[in-house]
Structure 1
């Protein structure tokens, strides 16, 4: 047959099919690329935000004798090259250049301080380009001196400015360090970091700042020059060597996370094999596996949710395309019947249908596939597989459908049979589908997700099973209420309601099934909307849980009263509630708990419009579940206090969520040392930080923005919105296609009735009553399915990583979007019915009825 001529004859249907294929392929191929790009960006941001000491790879070793010592830079350099050479190939793109090496002592006390002050010695391979000498000079080569009858080395060192005041040191001073193997430290210079924000300082915070390992202990690491390595030995002191291999976060890819975790373990084993004859065992110190593992858990949830909605989108797109293919097949039916009667083979019939469908679908699919490359991001396999699936399903359905329809030449098909009684086999099969769907849902809720890092196939199968079960129930049961309505309408005098409802109730399976394509479209779109609203609401709750007030000001030291008054006078500040936080002793033993002293009633007024709060408290204490059941107990804070338990609370917004804690009235303190301000209003956080220099200012709005700006969180919500809009469009397209597909049969029925005196107005009402019930039933069932899916899948899908680590369990029942979708579908159905009657009005009865139809 002449395929091009057939395409010209049915150009409108071919164009619709091509547009549907283009949109489906663009979405199915473009959305995964955008999501994968978001996954990659989330991983890069996670690695960048993590402390360098956790994200980077650090090879460490200890020297315990002079034979283990490394005494010159070249020895460090040779090992550094070795570590880079043995990095596994999978890990190599993630390892950046520009690492550094170091040698440091630790816990080196200043002699005579009883272990209260420590000056450790440290060598950095890149100290020359990372520090500026602001006083004195750079340290020089070591010397010797006599101390207690023996010769000891004298190290010239440089210390950071902060250490002068914190540890009472001065330029040019010499200190003796060590307990038995003594050494002298002469302060030759004072330095300042060129860029304190440089990530490499994360590995050397002990050089840049005074460390307090215990309340009364102060530690600082002083810099020594290259020449100091020749004297620095692990024989008499604790000495460690480090080679830092920094991680290049921009090279990280989410798809490679499992390989990276395995590669880090391989690198650790390879480093350990080099321990023979080396200064102590070499091993790798890094938090990278944990960072990758945490990200993988969060990513797994994102992929699960996206797999659900994208699978639903693909299924709905294929369903609408199949409807369009069915429409094209209906247009070809007369031509192929004639060809079959004239001796055309079944292969020719199927080949013609497949060729014409391929001609309509393939260009649109190719264009949609090409448009997906405008979306930046990696190319997962679904990008290639999605368009291929669309083309294969479309062409295969067209070939099989017409081959079955025309397997016998001139086969008679009666259109006046309302419905056939279903066989026992079919009823059994449909009942089995419903039972299996319910069983699968129960097992999923009881079992949870599998241990696989990818999407769980069982989780993906349950929504399909539920949709199939709901479709079967709808198909079997929707006729009964319509028949009841038809019987009620039969008692009236008007014929149009009875005829319309009767035709809707007697619709054959072939005319009902196209409308049931709306089920997954509405179900998945409502599911996406409900999940998106649930995440949004929980994010808002999490931001209040994190801050505990519109604005919170916290300080490690007491906030002066003058600064509090300046805060009260700041424009935009409505209320200020002072509070004191700290650790308190419970009883007289070693039990400690977190505590906050605050005027709870005033704090409740600050939280008046918030989703969090506290019970009223005028005396006694509110305690955590771990402290319940104690009745009256004592605590040691500024003084000994006796408190009665007035209630049990699971958390304190902005302060405590677990462990042992209590809330007491601020009046129980003799003189509260206020270190926290809870503020209601819209004052500028920057201005508050200026007024209270020692404090950290956080706001609920900033916390909410930080939660929502997470790449994975924003990607999930953005994808849900796009999928919801796409499914709504496909649902409307399904309604239009169902109207067009049944237009010929509907016109024939109306024409028969017009010969009996049916008016044009009655014809429009009849058409609306025939179509609208199925649309409304399907819309209500789809709405119910969409509301059921979050409840059914909720325990198996942990959305807390996208909601500030709070579980998303209470999905709000906001029916605005579902109602809008249902109203849109009903409106399209009504407009389509009126358009159909307007077009049919122009036709004469002879154009529809054949000779003998009225006999």
Structure 2
């Protein structure tokens, strides 16, 4: 029995090897691709949190209430631990040990200086462990001291820049601070100093309630000095318990929980009754919400691609298992005719399939984990289990077909596509498949971008591809039947024989059609969406910059404009005058007046979207917010330094380069504000390879925005990279799977085809004609499947609708023109040529001389 099994394995080594290799590759991809994508999501989550996103618990108190709540170092640290105990699990996992500090309000330094000076007094227990004294000593103050100098330390860099030394006194109104020592940080790169830059060096701040710049710094004090500050009830001290964010441990899975738990933590902080009122302050809220929206979009779109790839892999494995089953059918028929039971038939059919698939699946999973592409995913196990179950289910169904028994199961049935009549059961299954596809599309459009990783939604491309495959299989025999009489009248026999051979294929032989259709669908869908994403980001870069470059200048005269025009690469320039905080006499709401020659600007940068083509005449273009302020009549806008301008809204404009979205601005002709001086200017530039360094040198001190840098920043976002890489890999994987399907069918059926060609060669068929025959046999399946699948892939973004909403990645621009790019079209043509080359190569490799292939009497 064992020797018979080995003989069977040796006889079927080709399909068994093909099934084993395909299972291994599919299992490897099922592990590596989701893990890699998840790792990309996690990296994007860490980047989205970014620097400066620490969680702060802040409070303000003074006098006896402050000292009673925090009388010492121990009390300050005890409160830090109390806040840490209130942190929800998701926040506690991503934050480090709390850092406590108490800081006085900024106080103006007495004296005349080149620039005013502000000084903060900071009690920073964590700072003492991170500094070293370079001059003087620690600031020791007597406990209970209420008068005289207060000893404090300042950074050496602060003292050097502002001219202080040990022993100097700094007057702060009614308080005098004596510099007792100078220090330097042990490690200036320590993240502890990130939000405490004032402790290390002077920073530029504004004087309270003014726009006057001042040099600000923080002097370190000891607990006794802190106690002295609490004796003044009018002095409100700022308490800060900082929980540093460990961005390296933030994952995409935690983002949703962190967003929810931040609100819970705020409620817990505000509900604490044994301490002065405190609140939570962090930059995480907006960052996490923005990232969560982008993540949902990425997961929805990538899920569609992954679902399609799993379906393609399953189809290819079923094809391999089906070809193995076709070669086993005569053996099973003989066994059944000799009295073998269905259980005895299952041993060779299911056993051989399991021998090839199960070890290969396990090996592929192990290889995928060894690649360490990212964290393991449960979806990988589900995908591998689904693929193996589908492969093992096919031989089981094949065994059930033999329950009628005997050789008749082999010899009397004809499963040709043209001759076979679908049973009622198959018609019901086909109809059910179409209904499932329609239901999936309806659910997908209803849930929109919030569908995320819903398995039903992710299976929509596969369901649509399978439903279309059913329809194509229904129409395919009629196309072949219609082609038969036409080709029969032609003088050459190659085309007729090739179509006849294609018509005699069984349903298993038609599986390549379904696999190729699904592969073409995924390749078309991913390449189309990827092109749409790139196009949307290109439009967004034009909308944000307003040209190939933009100069934002505080003041720009005619000489400066000439310097800008003379920069290498600049071919055109249009100036705009920007006057902020203008208002009308009846409504003090501030508006921004932008003076620009719109006709010249349209000619300069026609690629900028959203600029109306209508001639405003004496009217003005207004943003929606400005339209609500101005109303329908004529309104006069003015401000100091600007001549009054009378405007009347003639049309609305959603956005204009250089202006924030949803802001109030008015676009007027440049001549109406040309006389206003002292206001910022914007210069929109176009050109080829503009020298950014020379442009910045032409306007020293002013901001220069380069469109190529804006576009690079958009495309360089971590999530965008994940989406681009996934789409590229999916398109390539779909094409490779399709080619493997073609190659598998060609190789497995090569011997039988070689014998048929030997008969035709004996009748006069030439080698050249046999090559053409190989192409004609492949052409009907290839063209029908790839053509139908490619069209479905192009339509899929429109069918899926809200799920393929790329606005989070394109600055709010909706991309509706879904067309594949030139690389995708070239890739499709290359795939078709490779399939044709494979057919010719296999025909050449298995070309058999008629004298060796035919026996006497044939």
TM range (shorter): 0.7 to 0.9
Mean CA deviation greater in 199-208 or 456-465: 199-208
- Following the alignment from structure 1 to structure 2, what is the Cα–Cα distance between the partners of residues 200 and 331? 70
2:113 alignment counterpart: none
Question: Quick one: structure 1 residues 300 and 481, their matched pair in 2 at CA, closer, same or farther if it must change by over 3 Å?
Answer: same
- Following the alignment from structure 2 to structure 1, what is the Cα–Cα distance between the partners of residues 138 and 376? 53
Contact 1:61–1:279 (Cα < 8 Å) also in 2: no
- Following the alignment from structure 1 to structure 2, what is the Cα–Cα distance between the partners of residues 824 and 279? 70
- Displacement of 1:762: 5.4
Contact 2:758–2:850 (Cα < 8 Å) also in 1: no
Structure 1 counterpart of 2:674, from 669, 682, 693: 669
Q: Partner of 1:237: helix, strand, or coil?
A: coil
Question: Quick one: structure 1 residues 297 and 327, their matched pair in 2 at CA, closer, same or farther if it must change by over 3 Å?
Answer: same
Contact 1:28–1:310 (Cα < 8 Å) also in 2: no
- Displacement of 1:532: 0.9
- Displacement of 1:402: 3.9
Q: For 1:380-395, list aligned pairs within 5 A.
A: 380-395=377-392
1:595 alignment counterpart: 593
- Following the alignment from structure 1 to structure 2, what is the Cα–Cα distance between the partners of residues 267 and 848? 86
- Displacement of 1:547: 1.5
Q: Partner of 1:526: helix, strand, or coil?
A: helix
- Following the alignment from structure 2 to structure 1, what is the Cα–Cα distance between the partners of residues 529 and 338? 57
Question: Quick one: structure 1 residues 224 and 447, their matched pair in 2 at CA, closer, same or farther if it must change by over 3 Å?
Answer: closer
Deviation string 1:117-158 (CA, Å, 9 cap, x unpaired) is 98765433345577899999987648999xxxxx97865667
1:102 alignment counterpart: 101
Q: For 1:556-705, list aligned pairs within 5 A.
A: 557-559=554-556, 564-588=561-585, 589-607=587-605, 615=613, 621-627=620-626, 630=632, 632-637=634-639, 638-643=642-647, 645=649, 647-667=651-671, 668-672=673-677, 673-681=679-687, 682-705=689-712
Contact 2:15–2:748 (Cα < 8 Å) also in 1: no
- Displacement of 1:818: 4.5
- Following the alignment from structure 1 to structure 2, what is the Cα–Cα distance between the partners of residues 135 and 702? 46
Question: Quick one: structure 1 residues 597 and 131, their matched pair in 2 at CA, closer, same or farther if it must change by over 3 Å?
Answer: farther
- Following the alignment from structure 2 to structure 1, what is the Cα–Cα distance between the partners of residues 431 and 177? 88
Q: Partner of 2:592: helix, strand, or coil?
A: strand
Instruction: Note the residue ranges of structure 2 that are not aligned, 5 or more in a row.
Output: 111-115, 163-167
2:42 alignment counterpart: 40
Q: For 1:838-849, list aligned pairs within 5 A.
A: 839=846, 841-843=848-850, 847=854
2:828 alignment counterpart: 821
Question: Quick one: structure 1 residues 694 and 142, their matched pair in 2 at CA, closer, same or farther if it must change by over 3 Å?
Answer: farther
Contact 1:779–1:822 (Cα < 8 Å) also in 2: no
Question: Quick one: structure 1 residues 770 and 789, their matched pair in 2 at CA, closer, same or farther if it must change by over 3 Å?
Answer: same
Question: Quick one: structure 1 residues 659 and 60, their matched pair in 2 at CA, closer, same or farther if it must change by over 3 Å?
Answer: closer
1:422 alignment counterpart: 422
- Following the alignment from structure 1 to structure 2, what is the Cα–Cα distance between the partners of residues 201 and 806? 39
- Displacement of 1:731: 0.4
Q: Partner of 1:280: helix, strand, or coil?
A: coil
Q: Is 1:13 paired with 2:20? A: no
Deviation string 1:740-767 (CA, Å, 9 cap, x unpaired) is 4555665676677678776666555555
Q: For 1:3-152, list aligned pairs within 5 A.
A: 3-49=5-51, 52=52, 55-63=53-61, 65-69=63-67, 70-84=70-84, 87-88=87-88, 90-97=90-97, 99-106=98-105, 121-127=121-127, 141=141
1:308 alignment counterpart: 304
Contact 1:735–1:829 (Cα < 8 Å) also in 2: no
1:723 alignment counterpart: 730
Contact 1:623–1:663 (Cα < 8 Å) also in 2: yes
Contact 2:758–2:854 (Cα < 8 Å) also in 1: no
- Following the alignment from structure 1 to structure 2, what is the Cα–Cα distance between the partners of residues 468 and 101? 61
- Displacement of 1:56: 1.3
- Displacement of 1:76: 1.5
1:257 alignment counterpart: 255
1:232 alignment counterpart: 229
Contact 2:154–2:220 (Cα < 8 Å) also in 1: no
- Displacement of 1:243: 1.1
Instruction: Note the residue ranges of structure 1 that are not aligned, 5 or more in a row.
Output: 146-150, 177-182
Q: Is 1:444 paired with 2:427? A: no
Question: Quick one: structure 1 residues 117 and 493, their matched pair in 2 at CA, closer, same or farther if it must change by over 3 Å?
Answer: closer
- Following the alignment from structure 1 to structure 2, what is the Cα–Cα distance between the partners of residues 200 and 617? 55
Q: Partner of 2:409: helix, strand, or coil?
A: coil
- Following the alignment from structure 1 to structure 2, what is the Cα–Cα distance between the partners of residues 518 and 815? 21
Mean CA deviation greater in 78-87 or 723-732: 78-87
Deviation string 1:66-124 (CA, Å, 9 cap, x unpaired) is 14422433321333344445555554442224x5322234487999xxxx998765433
Q: Partner of 2:205: helix, strand, or coil?
A: coil
TM-score, normalised on structure 2?
0.83
Q: Is 1:487 paired with 2:485? A: yes
Contact 1:598–1:663 (Cα < 8 Å) also in 2: yes
- Following the alignment from structure 1 to structure 2, what is the Cα–Cα distance between the partners of residues 324 and 848? 30
Q: For 1:212-611, list aligned pairs within 5 A.
A: 214-215=209-210, 223=219, 225-226=221-222, 227-233=224-230, 235-261=233-259, 264=262, 275-276=272-273, 278-372=274-368, 373-405=370-402, 408-413=405-410, 414=412, 418-424=418-424, 426-450=426-450, 454-492=452-490, 496-502=494-500, 504-505=502-503, 507-555=505-553, 557-559=554-556, 564-588=561-585, 589-607=587-605
- Following the alignment from structure 1 to structure 2, what is the Cα–Cα distance between the partners of residues 469 and 625? 46
Structure 1 counterpart of 2:175, from 145, 169, 184: 184
- Displacement of 1:521: 0.8
Contact 1:622–1:647 (Cα < 8 Å) also in 2: yes
Structure 2 counterpart of 1:778, from 778, 785, 799: 785
- Displacement of 1:699: 0.9
TM-score, normalised on structure 1?
0.84
Mean CA deviation greater in 233-242 or 192-201: 192-201
Question: Quick one: structure 1 residues 124 and 614, their matched pair in 2 at CA, closer, same or farther if it must change by over 3 Å?
Answer: farther
- Following the alignment from structure 2 to structure 1, what is the Cα–Cα distance between the partners of residues 103 and 313? 63
Q: Is 1:711 paired with 2:711? A: no
- Displacement of 1:5: 3.6
- Displacement of 1:702: 0.9
Mean CA deviation greater in 764-773 or 605-614: 605-614
Deviation string 1:38-69 (CA, Å, 9 cap, x unpaired) is 111111112224xx2xx212223343551442
- Following the alignment from structure 2 to structure 1, what is the Cα–Cα distance between the partners of residues 713 and 182? 36
- Displacement of 1:659: 3.1
- Following the alignment from structure 2 to structure 1, what is the Cα–Cα distance between the partners of residues 667 and 188? 39
Q: Partner of 1:511: helix, strand, or coil?
A: coil
Contact 2:45–2:255 (Cα < 8 Å) also in 1: no
Contact 1:739–1:829 (Cα < 8 Å) also in 2: no
Deviation string 1:421-449 (CA, Å, 9 cap, x unpaired) is 33455445534543453354245324424
1:796 alignment counterpart: 803
Deviation string 1:3-42 (CA, Å, 9 cap, x unpaired) is 4443333333333222222221221111112112111111
Mean CA deviation greater in 583-592 or 672-681: 672-681
Q: Partner of 1:539: helix, strand, or coil?
A: helix
Question: Quick one: structure 1 residues 430 and 7, their matched pair in 2 at CA, closer, same or farther if it must change by over 3 Å?
Answer: closer
Mean CA deviation greater in 367-376 or 812-821: 812-821
Q: Number of matched residues?
A: 824
Mean CA deviation greater in 684-693 or 229-238: 684-693
Contact 1:621–1:645 (Cα < 8 Å) also in 2: yes
- Following the alignment from structure 1 to structure 2, what is the Cα–Cα distance between the partners of residues 494 and 622? 70
Question: Quick one: structure 1 residues 444 and 838, their matched pair in 2 at CA, closer, same or farther if it must change by over 3 Å?
Answer: closer
- Displacement of 1:520: 1.0
